[in-house]
Amino acid sequence: METKESKLSFEAALSKLEAIVESMESGEVPLAELLAKFEEGNKLLKHCESRLKDAELKIEQLKKERDGVVFTKFETEREG
């Protein structure tokens, strides 16, 4: 099941996460909305971490290929 976060680019997710943090730090957000923003921010953070990990794995694969050690095609869960 795809979430709306999984469709976001890393940059878009990071931008949304930064906006959430700024609004939470303002101190003007009601508690109920603060909790909802925290939950959304947590999902965005996990998405960003996943994208960064995928990029790290891809870089490692490219380094190994450059050094003459070739592995099979790199695929993430998001690829069709």
- The CATH number of residue 62's host domain is 1.10.287.1040
Q: Phi-psi bin for 75: left (phi > 0), alpha (psi -120 to 50), beta?
A: beta
Q: Is residue 45 part of a domain?
A: yes
Looking at the 3D structure of the chain, how many domains does it have? 1
Q: Is residue 71 part of a domain?
A: no
Q: Is residue 36 part of a domain?
A: yes
Provide the domain limits for residue 54: 9-66
Cβ-contact 44, 24 below 8 angstroms: no
| Run means of pLDDT, 10 residues per run, the chain, 80 residues | 74 95 91 93 95 92 77 62
Q: Is residue 72 part of a domain?
A: no
Q: Is residue 73 part of a domain?
A: no
- pTM over the 0.75 mark: no
Q: Is residue 1 part of a domain?
A: no
Cβ-contact 10, 17 below 8 angstroms: no
Q: Is residue 57 part of a domain?
A: yes
